[in-house]
């Protein structure tokens, strides 16, 4: 096939595609699925029929169905996993690198195509969405191919090129409703081209345009209901934009890297200067209109400006709708502009230097500055769910205002009871009606669990419950609330000094150190003290686990070695309180060691005091 021959004759492009694949598949499942991705994997569940998925999307997500249908087929073949889910986006991302090469070659030259492909290969935002289980890389790929097919159709307006253009345009529209804005830009470009064409050639092009339009309409017909519903939406989570909205979108397209943004701005200026103030180097008296610099300039300008203008006007007239990821169909046009600017520089050494600098800045930004592949940046609902599953009792209820999404992870972990869909305020309001039969429950969410709770509910919660376990992950959190028992006290780890709980709600000891509680009032009696904690690393250093000594009002009363099993409960000691008094507990990590690059550490997540006599 033609593309195989193209790849065989271009080793640089082939290497570039392999690099693009590596960047898009590396650590593809490192990040947890977040809310939108869980929408995708549930909606594309192969257990549902295609009709069920269509109806579900129509009622909930209002996304064109083709992307989800492709996922259903992949799930049926390769398994219903998050890796397969994201792999489709990665594959589309790799093809987009090849697609922009074709577009750059068609618009100007093979060198322009290779430069554009290089820029897209290492572009942070494209890599990010190539590992995102949403149809954004679909939109980027088929927007690129649709404009490529439009150029080929303009150069050679036959029924074959018209139908090909219609197919790719339909696929672009299946990516996202914003694809319609790109289609509007293409219509303006085609009208402009008709205007500059000789009169004798216009009728032929108009007929072929009708064929392309009919092909697009027929193929997109099943998705028209989604477009109609999206057009009638009257409320949105999207805020009104600020005055710098498009500046922010431009910088986001380059990962908010100051150096990359600055260099990109410089190249845009070079592009504008070359096109507006230099000779039309590609044009001659006999050259076709589509090969002129001015036509390329109009295409790229309309491609970028018209969708932004439509989104801006509709935002202020009807409903806010400007979100950077929705406008990703503009990214190929912007990178083509940068590629043309680099290609127009006559000095080869300077061209190579600028391209290499762009690549180095991108790589440094991804791996060193952002640490993209090794740092959690998405809502870690997977981590919170895992923590809850490892610590919950069979009878514990799980509550969340995004329970539909958390339920995906809990179901896959063997939790049979569905998550209760309610905010913490709503759940507590329900508990108030029967406060004599309170049971232990977990509340999981995207934010710190107590954020937004009313003062009345806060007082009710801490009058009747202890917050006995807590987990904080990236943009996700969970807490276990245990009903108070007159014979049991849970020490609040937040009141310990000087060591405070870390992001996972546990006291972390990294060296021989101690921390103590705030004063606790205990009645006369005999008590046991138990600690839930972990010794790390998993394999004991020198065959010995971390040891914690317990002191009561400064006097040693006991201690124990922690387990390697995560958050296992260990009985520390039994002690006697002779009379009702305030006491202070101190925990001392007393056997820290580093041996053969392994460091022994101690972690305490819960301190439980129970009166036994």
Please tell me the distance from the alpha carbon of residue 321 to that of residue 534, in angstroms, as a whole number: 48
- The pLDDT of residue 436 is 64
CA–CA dist 159, 162 (Å, integer): 5
Rounded average pLDDT over 252-258: 94
The pLDDT of 78-105, averaged and rounded, is: 96
Is pLDDT at 214 greater than 50 in this prediction?
Answer: yes
Find residue 583's DSSP bridge partners: 520
> Which band of pLDDT confidence, cut at 50, 70 and 90, is reported for residue 569?
confident
Tokens of residue 582, six digits: 């305030």
Calpha distance 97→100 (Å, rounded) = 5
Helix, coil or strand: residue 471: strand
How far apart, in whole angstroms, are the C-alpha atoms of residue 556 and residue 575? 10
Q: What is the DSSP string of 79-115?
A: -S-HHHHHHHHHHHHHHHHHHHHHHHHHHT-HHHHHH
Burial bucket for residue 244 (CB in 10 Å: 0-12, 13-18, 19+) = exposed
Kindly state the tokens that stand for 246.
Answer: 């498009």
Burial of residue 277 (CB within 10 Å: 0-12, 13-18, 19+) is: exposed
- Residues 45, 51, 54, CA angle at the centre, nearest 5°? 75
The answer to whether the peptide bond before residue 498 is cis (omega within 30 degrees of 0) is yes
Q: pTM for this structure?
A: 0.82
Dihedral class, residue 543 (left if φ above 0, else alpha if ψ from -120 to 50, else beta): left
Measured at the alpha carbon of residue 514, what is the angle toward residues 510 and 518, in degrees to the nearest 5?
Answer: 130
Mean pLDDT of 106-111: 92
Mention every residue, 6+ apart, whose C-beta is less than 8 A from residue 101.
13, 113, 114, 116, 117
Q: How far apart are CA 528 and CA 550, in angstroms?
A: 12
pLDDT (average), residues 231-246: 82
Q: At CA 317, angle to CA 311 and CA 323, rounded to 5?
A: 30
**Which stretch of 103-117, 268-282, 586-600 has the lowest confidence by average pLDDT?**
268-282
Does residue 173 contact residue 302 with C-beta atoms inside 8 Å? no
Question: How far is residue 427's CA from residue 182's CA, in Å, rounded to a whole number?
Answer: 46
The encoded tokens of residue 151 equal 């150029």
Structure-block tokens of residue 256: 């908010």
Range among 121-135, 218-232, 292-306 rated most confident: 121-135
Which helix H or strand E contains 420, and what residues bound it?
Answer: strand 420-421
The helix/strand/coil state of 196 is: helix
What letter would DSSP give residue 497? Answer: B
208 DSSP assignment = H
Q: Is the pLDDT of residue 239 over 70?
A: yes
Q: In what order do the strands lie in the sheet with 555-561?
A: 513-516, 585-589, 547-552, 555-561
CA distance 475 to 376: 9
Q: 136-155 and 331-344 are packed helices; what angle lies between their axes, rounded to 10 degrees?
A: 60
DSSP H or E segment with residue 159? helix 159-175
Residue 289: pLDDT band (50, 70, 90) is: low
Most confident of 59-73, 283-297, 456-470: 59-73
Cα-based angle 158, 163, 164 (whole degrees, multiple of 5): 100
Highest mean pLDDT among 168-172, 225-229, 579-583: 168-172
Going by pLDDT thresholds of 50, 70 and 90, the confidence category of residue 2 is very low
**What per-residue confidence (pLDDT) applies to 199?**
84
Beta bridge mates, 473: 476
Please tell me the distance from the alpha carbon of residue 467 to that of residue 481, in angstroms, as a whole number. 5
Which pLDDT tens digit goes with each residue over 479-529? 999 988 767 777 888 889 999 888 777 899 999 999 999 998 888 999 999
Pair of tokens at residue 538 = 């998993």
pLDDT, residue 284, reads 41
Question: Is 562 strand, coil or helix?
Answer: coil
Asked if residue 292 has pLDDT above 80, the reply is no
Interior CA angle at 446 toward 508 and 602, to 5°? 10
Give 269's Cβ-side CA count (13 Å radius): 6
Phi/psi at 322 (5° precision): -95, 110
Q: How far is the first Cα of the chain from the last one, in angstroms, to the nearest whole number?
A: 84
pLDDT per position as a tens digit, 181-212: 999 999 999 999 999 888 888 898 999 999 99
Q: What is the pLDDT of residue 359?
A: 97
Task: Scan for tokens 């429950």, then name that residue.
Answer: 441
The interaxial angle of helices 82-107 and 11-25, nearest 10 deg, is: 150
Asked if pLDDT for residue 280 goes beyond 70, the answer is: no
Task: Report the C-alpha gap between 477 and 532 in whole angstroms.
Answer: 19
Across-strand partners of 497? 516
Q: Is 464 exposed, middle or buried (0-12, 13-18, 19+ CB in 10 A)?
A: middle
Other C-beta atoms closer than 10 Å to the C-beta of 178 total: 25
Average pLDDT value for the chain: 90
User: Residue 414: which pLDDT band, with cuts at 50, 70 and 90?
Assistant: confident
Query: Would the pLDDT of 175 be above 80?
Result: yes
Model pLDDT, residue 1: 47
CA distance 481 to 388: 12
Mean pLDDT across the stretch 353-377? 95
Contact present, 16 and 118 (Cβ < 8 Å): yes
Alpha helix stretches (DSSP H) within 365-402: 381-391
Give the pLDDT score at 583: 93
Between β-strands 547-552 and 555-561, what pairing exists: parallel, antiparallel or unpaired?
antiparallel
Burial 245-259 (b: 16+ CB within 10 A, else e): bbeebbbbbbbebeb
């Amino acid at each position: 096939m033609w593309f195989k021959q193209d790849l065989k004759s271009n080793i640089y492009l082939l290497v570039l595609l392999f690099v693009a694949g590596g960047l898009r598949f590396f650590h593809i499942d490192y990040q947890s699925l977040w809310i939108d991705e869980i929408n995708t994997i549930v909606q594309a569940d192969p257990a549902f029929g295609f009709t069920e998925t269509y109806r579900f999307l129509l009622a909930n997500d209002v996304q064109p169905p083709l992307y989800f249908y492709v996922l259903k087929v992949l799930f049926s073949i390769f398994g219903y996993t998050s890796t397969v889910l994201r792999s489709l986006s990665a594959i589309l991302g790799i093809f987009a690198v090849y697609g922009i090469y074709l577009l750059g070659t068609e618009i100007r030259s093979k060198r322009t195509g290779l430069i554009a492909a290089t820029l897209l290969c290492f572009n942070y935002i494209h890599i990010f969405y190539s590992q995102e289980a949403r149809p954004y890389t679909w939109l980027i790929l088929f927007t690129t191919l649709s404009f490529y097919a439009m150029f080929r159709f303009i150069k050679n307006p036959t029924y074959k090129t018209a139908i090909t253009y219609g197919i790719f345009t339909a696929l672009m529209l299946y990516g996202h409703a914003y694809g319609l804005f790109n289609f509007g830009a293409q219509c303006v470009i085609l009208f402009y081209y008709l205007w500059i064409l000789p009169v004798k050639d216009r009728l032929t092009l108009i007929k072929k345009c009708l064929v392309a339009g009919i092909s697009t309409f027929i193929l997109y017909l099943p998705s028209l209901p989604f477009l109609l519903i999206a057009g009638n939406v009257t409320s949105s989570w999207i805020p009104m934009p600020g005055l710098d909205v498009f500046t922010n979108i431009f910088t986001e397209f380059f990962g908010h890297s100051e150096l990359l943004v600055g260099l990109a701005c410089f190249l845009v200026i070079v592009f504008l200067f070359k096109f507006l103030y230099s000779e039309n180097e590609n044009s001659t008296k006999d050259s076709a209109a589509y090969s002129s610099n001015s036509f390329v300039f109009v295409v790229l300008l309309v491609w970028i400006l018209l969708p932004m203008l439509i989104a801006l006007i509709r935002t202020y007239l009807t409903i806010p709708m400007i979100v950077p990821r929705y406008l990703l169909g503009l990214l190929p046009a912007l990178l083509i502009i940068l590629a043309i600017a680099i290609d127009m520089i006559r000095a080869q050494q300077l061209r190579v230097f600028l391209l290499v600098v762009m690549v180095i800045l991108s790589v440094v930004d991804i791996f060193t500055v952002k640490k993209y592949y090794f740092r959690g940046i998405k809502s870690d609902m997977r981590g919170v769910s895992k923590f809850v599953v490892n610590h919950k009792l069979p009878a514990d209820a799980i509550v969340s205002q995004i329970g539909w999404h958390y339920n995906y992870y809990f179901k896959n972990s063997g939790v049979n009871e569905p998550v209760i869909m309610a905010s913490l305020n709503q759940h507590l309001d329900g508990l108030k009606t029967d406060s004599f039969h309170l049971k232990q429950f977990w509340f999981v969410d995207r934010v710190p669990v107590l954020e937004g709770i009313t003062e009345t509910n806060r007082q009710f919660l801490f009058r009747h419950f202890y917050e006995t376990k807590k987990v904080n992950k990236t943009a996700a959190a969970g807490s276990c609330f245990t009903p108070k028992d007159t014979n049991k006290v849970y020490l609040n780890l937040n009141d310990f000094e000087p060591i405070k709980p870390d992001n996972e709600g546990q006291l972390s000891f990294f060296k021989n150190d101690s921390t103590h509680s705030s004063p606790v009032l205990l009645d006369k009696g005999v008590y046991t003290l138990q600690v839930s904690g972990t010794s790390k690393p998993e394999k004991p250093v020198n065959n010995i686990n971390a040891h914690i000594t317990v002191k009561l009002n400064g006097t040693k009363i006991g201690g124990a070695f922690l387990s390697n099993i995560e958050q296992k409960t260990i009985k520390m000691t039994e002690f006697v309180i002779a009379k009702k008094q305030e006491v202070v507990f101190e925990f001392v990590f007393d056997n820290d060691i580093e041996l053969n690059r392994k460091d022994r550490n101690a972690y305490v997540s819960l301190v439980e005091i129970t009166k036994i006599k």
